[in-house]
Structure 1
Amino acid sequence: MKNTSFAEALLSFSRAALRTPCPSPAGLAESLIKTARGLFGPGRLIIRIDGGAYAGLYCQGVPAAARRSFQSYRGRVTAVGSEIVSGGASFFAVASPPGGPSLINMALCCGGRPAPQEKEALRGFTGLLALADARCAVEEDLRQSEETYRTLVNSGRDIIYSIDPLGRVTYISPQVRRYGYSQGDIIGRHISMFSHPEDRQDTVKALANAFKTGRTLPLIPYRARRKDGTYFSAEQKSGIVFKGGKPVSITGVIRDVSDRRELERELRDSAETLRKIFDNAPDAIFIKDLDGRYTRVNRACAEVLGLPADKIAGLNDFDFFKKAEAEEGRRQDERVLKAGETVVMDNVRTDSAGAKRVFNVVKVPLRDVYGEITGLLSIARDVTRVRAMEAELVDRKAGELVSKLTGGMAHDFNNVLAAIDGYATLVYEGLKPGAAGKEEMRSIISSVKRAAAISDKLHDLPEGLKKRGRKN
């Protein structure tokens, strides 16, 4: 057999192995088996692929005993070639280089010692088949990556685009359908045509500057045009593709931020509403940190403390109230900040004018997103007049009750005293001076008058309670 036959076979096999797309190693192995009949003789070439998608034994006309022997062999085989014996059969085997996706062993059997050119050809075929196997693995990885990328592009909400140095769109992802366009509506047109007229000049400048400097802006906000002529808020982020050190295209992402902008607007409106409620509430509202320092107060609270709201941050109760009052407030704060309790109670405080005022105070803990206490919020309502009115009402109710209890008793008691006084007076006047018992009668009459005076005081007691309530 001539050397040129091996050379021609290797050249033909290399062309097949290097085709694009890469043929499968299984197909190449089967094709090589057929070609090998004319090179090595029938029933001599046997190929074993371990691992990967094409694992298996490939041969034709090889005796079953030789196939089983080679299939079961797990000894060392080198890339240069190894003489091996397995199950009574001898082989000259060549292994693919390590590190490939599969281990390929190619061997000649059943024909005595192979000639040098046969060994060389076997090494060449093994290397080419290993190369094809590696190419297939790379192409499969690339295909899966492309499929993953395509899935991400097609399933995402963002628009992916590419433009050339003239600003013409060379690629646009299918997401443009959400805005009424087909991909063909956009590809080939200048990208500025899809921005608001007031934003168009800035878009063109940013594009020209990017190709000139080789750098894009971190983020470009603008209004993008839908096909129906309406606009939506968008943010564009991009990068430059270089070739030969020169920028050749820009690829980027366009994100619809209309919902986010609307949410931001609603949050701003909500925050403004809460600010107005906070600042204009008639009750004193304040926030303290973990150390009991004021961090924010509203206008009503600032009036109580006697300082402008912007001068109060960082101060504590000891800067405004008497020591005993501040200590009481601090104990309440600790219950809220350390135990997480909600505190509701009346506090008596001396205001900036020196007046005693009663506040109904509610203190609740403030927590972050992790549930950790970061401070406290308190609402204090001035109930000084309310508490005074409540005390007056209590006194009035007490007076009414005493009146009910004592009014009837005084009347009945006076009736009894009147009878005693009448009879005692008749007896007294009927006795002659110095008669026995006359002085005793006079003492009885005097005692009756004192008892009547006490009865009158008892009758006037409810009115006295009412007057005291009004004074309080």
Structure 2
Amino acid sequence: MNKEPEAPGQQLDMKKRNKKLRPARPPGIMSASGVAEALRSKDLEKAVDSIENAYLVSSRFSIKDLSSRVLKAAKNFTGSRYGFAAYLDPHTGRMTDPALRRTAYQGRPSNGEPRVVKKFGGLWGWVLENKKPLLTNAASSDPRSNAPFRKNIKAGKFMATPALFNKKLAGIITLANPWRDYGASDLAAVERLARVYAIIIQRHLAEDKLKESEGTYRSIIEASQDTIATINIEGRFTYMSRQAENYGYAPHEMVGRHVLEFVHPDDRYLLRQALARTLKTGRTLPLLHFRIKKKDGSYFYAEQKSGVIMKDGKPFTISCIVRDITKRRELDSALSQLTRCFLKFGPDPDKNIEIITLTAGEIFKDACVLYNRIEGSLLRTVSDWQAPPDMPRLDKAKGHICFDLILTAKDKVFIVRDLDKSRYAASDPNVRKYKLKTYIGYPVRVAGKKIGSLCAVFKTATEATATEIEVMSILAKALGIEEKRRQAESQLRENEETLRKIFDSAQDAIFIKDLNGRYVKTNSFCAALFGLTPRQMEGKSDYDLMPAELARNLSDKDQSVVRNGGSLVSDSEILTAKGEIRTFNSVKTQLCASGGLATGVLGVSRDVTELKKLQTQLVEARAAEVVSKITEPVAHDFNNILAAINGYAALILETLKAGDPVRPEITHILNAIKRAAAITERLQPYDSRTGKKS
């Protein structure tokens, strides 16, 4: 049976005991084994020095090179046939053998790729798990070798040492099958190599991490649109990113020069004070705004954010991130001008159009700014900035640049350069007359239809900035809004004029009352009923114009409309200024604000007095006609009877002598017959159309 291999300490103790049993040597004389051991130690130190020097001298010394050198030294020192030196990847936790050598697994050359092991087993897995070295000259019988890798081991002698750095596992050196048994000196040598291996691995990984970090930061710096720099405590640049090229400088030509060399003279005091404050307090201002000189001598506006790197408790380096804010300042300035422009707006669209044109002129400064509007086949200059006094304000549209812009341009800026060489030199009379060079225009739309253009024309070759183009588009849209308002107000005025004419010429009383029943507005017909003018009617109530009883009736109907909403149709009587009681048929409707709250009553009243009389007469005529139909037969028969009675009475009267006492009675009968005949005559039918007896 194979015994448990002795630990290195136990082997050393045995050597000490054996040494005590040997006879003492004279002082100064070294045994052959001692000489051999000294030579081995010297060779080990040379190997270690060689590895360390290779690492220190060459910047290209890789972990693969390190693993190869360490493994070669370990194999040479121990006489091992197989082995590998592998390191632990701190990110994945996997063991990587980069040496590309014959390994203890297969005993044959690798395929050229680093060997990566995900699971650790067998004897070397025990070493990794326990972070302890292992030496055995009977590996095949060692119970710890029953892991999956056991079948891959070709020999029975095995030694492995963990590479530890600050008690953390960095890698492993594993050896197998020496031409002799492994001893304590072999283990000590490999442990020494493992320590060097661990130290260099950690340094190399740290350097790789630092390089990766530096590469990441460098990529960020290179990709940044901002300029990044560092300044020493003397105020001189120690680093400058490539963004300096945007301003004409090569980064290297700025390094070593003082920051104030590149600052506008008026801003140097600010920078000098800021630097002094930083060196004194170790803190920087949140933001600094100043002007920086380009290589061509011009300046740009910069915004700087800084940080301080301390060393030994004192400022050592100032890091700076500088952003070009020239365009932002231009945009802020333009937006301020736009804000001031819009704040000047009033109710008159025409005046607002003038304000917009003047604002465009202030932004384009040296340009002539025009707002032109198409009117049929003509082009009218509605408003302008710095236009020549003799320039016609109304001209034929065809041939003008603005006409082409209105016809063809989409919702984007329309720019024509070298006007004197373009076709417009012949078609547009203003180009040659005023020696124009550059045209920048934008269409003005109302309800999607192009109706005009806002343009700036220059006598020099000019390039518009993105800010100027954006501002022109905003102003052109503002013109479109004001034009729409102008058209709407013009239409409204026309509608109001039409309604006013209808209101004033109507032969009906039209009025508006507030919630208190007071007249807000009346037409002339309504006011004339009370002998007043429309203006005199304002503020009066019905109680001021007629008796309380009549006024109360009108007020009750007004309040009913206010409470219930909708419309109310009714007849009411009023007392006119002529003292007549007139009957009016009124339609009253509730007036509401936009939120639905009642604000008053709108009424339209028509004089129906004569109509009422006609209606009464018609009723009476129809009633008489009905009576006639009933009484006509009776009256006819009654007349016949009366005629007979009258005849007989007359005959009797003629036969009686004067003084006859019967004679007065007969006279009474004749008088009664006359009265009855008169009544019968009234019962004769009437013609409903003429009112006369038929």
TM-score range, shorter chain: 0.5 to 0.7
Q: Which residue of 1 aligns with 2:126?
A: 76
Q: Distance in 2 between matches of 1:444 and 1:156?
A: 118
Label 1:181 to 1:125 Cα distance change in 2 as closer, same or farther (>3 A).
same
What is the deviation of 1:199?
A: 1.9
On the 8 A contact 2:157/2:177 being kept in 1, the answer is yes
**CA shift digits 1:374-396 (9 cap, x unpaired):** xxxxxx9xx96xx65xx24xx25
What is the deviation of 1:245?
A: 3.4
On the 8 A contact 2:86/2:96 being kept in 1, the answer is no
Q: Distance in 1 between matches of 2:105 and 2:293?
A: 73
Q: CA RMSD in A?
A: 5.1
Label 1:48 to 1:153 Cα distance change in 2 as closer, same or farther (>3 A).
closer
Q: Distance in 2 between matches of 1:189 and 1:359?
A: 76
Aligned counterpart in structure 2 of residue 92 of structure 1, from 152, 159, 167 = 159
Of residues 268-277 and 172-181 in structure 1, the stretch that sits farther from structure 2 once superposed is 268-277
Q: Which residue of 2 aligns with 1:191?
A: 259
Aligned counterpart in structure 1 of residue 594 of structure 2, from 347, 356, 361 = 361
Label 1:103 to 1:188 Cα distance change in 2 as closer, same or farther (>3 A).
closer
* Structure 1 residues without counterparts, runs of 5 or longer: 281-346, 349-356, 364-379, 452-472
Q: Which residue of 1 aligns with 2:239?
A: 171
On the 8 A contact 2:228/2:321 being kept in 1, the answer is yes
Label 1:196 to 1:112 Cα distance change in 2 as closer, same or farther (>3 A).
same
User: Is 1:220 aligned with 2:288?
Assistant: yes
Of residues 9-18 and 135-144 in structure 1, the stretch that sits farther from structure 2 once superposed is 9-18
Label 1:194 to 1:445 Cα distance change in 2 as closer, same or farther (>3 A).
farther
On the 8 A contact 1:165/1:248 being kept in 2, the answer is yes
**CA shift digits 1:9-43 (9 cap, x unpaired):** 22222323444536222222223444456533362
Label 1:207 to 1:127 Cα distance change in 2 as closer, same or farther (>3 A).
same
User: Secondary structure in 2 aligned to 1:239?
Assistant: strand
Give the residue type in structure 2 aligned to 1:16: A
Aligned counterpart in structure 1 of residue 314 of structure 2, from 246, 262, 268 = 246
Label 1:76 to 1:184 Cα distance change in 2 as closer, same or farther (>3 A).
closer
Aligned counterpart in structure 2 of residue 55 of structure 1, from 97, 100, 110 = 97
Label 1:5 to 1:213 Cα distance change in 2 as closer, same or farther (>3 A).
same
Q: Which residue of 2 aligns with 1:312?
A: none
User: Secondary structure in 2 aligned to 1:361?
Assistant: coil
User: Is 1:43 aligned with 2:85?
Assistant: no
On the 8 A contact 1:219/1:237 being kept in 2, the answer is yes
What is the deviation of 1:208?
A: 2.4
Of residues 259-268 and 240-249 in structure 1, the stretch that sits farther from structure 2 once superposed is 259-268
Give the residue type in structure 1 aligned to 2:192: G
Q: How many residues align?
A: 339
Q: Distance in 2 between matches of 1:9 and 1:157?
A: 51
User: Secondary structure in 1 aligned to 2:238?
Assistant: strand
What is the deviation of 1:128?
A: 1.4
What is the deviation of 1:150?
A: 0.8
**CA shift digits 1:62-90 (9 cap, x unpaired):** 7956999x996454116552124244612
Q: Distance in 1 between matches of 2:595 and 2:290?
A: 47
Alignment of 1:312-461 (within 5 A): 360-362=593-595, 391-392=602-603, 395=604, 399=606, 434-436=674-676, 438-439=678-679
On the 8 A contact 1:160/1:173 being kept in 2, the answer is yes
Q: Which residue of 2 aligns with 1:144?
A: 212
On the 8 A contact 2:65/2:99 being kept in 1, the answer is no
Label 1:199 to 1:358 Cα distance change in 2 as closer, same or farther (>3 A).
farther
What is the deviation of 1:102?
A: 4.8
Q: Distance in 1 between matches of 2:72 and 2:258?
A: 57
Q: Which residue of 2 aligns with 1:23?
A: 61
Q: Distance in 2 between matches of 1:177 and 1:170?
A: 16
Give the alignment's TM-score, normalised by structure 2. Answer: 0.40
Q: Distance in 2 between matches of 1:440 and 1:55?
A: 148
Label 1:45 to 1:254 Cα distance change in 2 as closer, same or farther (>3 A).
same
What is the deviation of 1:214?
A: 2.7
Q: Distance in 2 between matches of 1:112 and 1:104?
A: 22
Q: Distance in 2 between matches of 1:63 and 1:75?
A: 13
**CA shift digits 1:240-277 (9 cap, x unpaired):** 23333333332111123345445555665666677777
User: Secondary structure in 1 aligned to 2:126?
Assistant: coil
The answer to which structure, 1 or 2, has the higher relative contact order (CA under 8 A, 6+ apart) is 1
What is the deviation of 1:152?
A: 0.7
Aligned counterpart in structure 2 of residue 4 of structure 1, from 42, 53, 57 = 42
User: Secondary structure in 1 aligned to 2:228?
Assistant: strand
**CA shift digits 1:81-115 (9 cap, x unpaired):** 21242446121221112776853233353344323
Give the alignment's TM-score, normalised by structure 1. Answer: 0.56
User: Secondary structure in 2 aligned to 1:96?
Assistant: strand
Q: Distance in 2 between matches of 1:173 and 1:230?
A: 20
On the 8 A contact 2:161/2:191 being kept in 1, the answer is yes
Q: Distance in 2 between matches of 1:18 and 1:39?
A: 23
Q: Distance in 1 between matches of 2:156 and 2:322?
A: 67
User: Secondary structure in 2 aligned to 1:89?
Assistant: coil
Q: Which residue of 1 aligns with 2:364?
A: none
**CA shift digits 1:408-442 (9 cap, x unpaired):** x869959979x99xx9xxx9xxx999343534655
Alignment of 1:224-303 (within 5 A): 224-262=292-330, 264-265=332-333
User: Secondary structure in 1 aligned to 2:173?
Assistant: strand
Q: Distance in 1 between matches of 2:276 and 2:64?
A: 52
* Structure 2 residues without counterparts, runs of 5 or longer: 1-35, 111-119, 140-144, 349-561, 564-589, 629-634, 636-642, 644-670
Q: Which residue of 1 aligns with 2:474?
A: none
Label 1:204 to 1:63 Cα distance change in 2 as closer, same or farther (>3 A).
closer
Q: Distance in 2 between matches of 1:14 and 1:65?
A: 29
Label 1:71 to 1:64 Cα distance change in 2 as closer, same or farther (>3 A).
farther
**CA shift digits 1:169-212 (9 cap, x unpaired):** 22221222333433245333332233333222211221223223
On the 8 A contact 2:263/2:290 being kept in 1, the answer is yes
Label 1:270 to 1:443 Cα distance change in 2 as closer, same or farther (>3 A).
farther
What is the deviation of 1:142?
A: 1.1
On the 8 A contact 1:47/1:105 being kept in 2, the answer is yes
On the 8 A contact 1:43/1:59 being kept in 2, the answer is no
Label 1:92 to 1:275 Cα distance change in 2 as closer, same or farther (>3 A).
same
Q: Distance in 1 between matches of 2:206 and 2:247?
A: 37
Q: Which residue of 2 aligns with 1:130?
A: 198
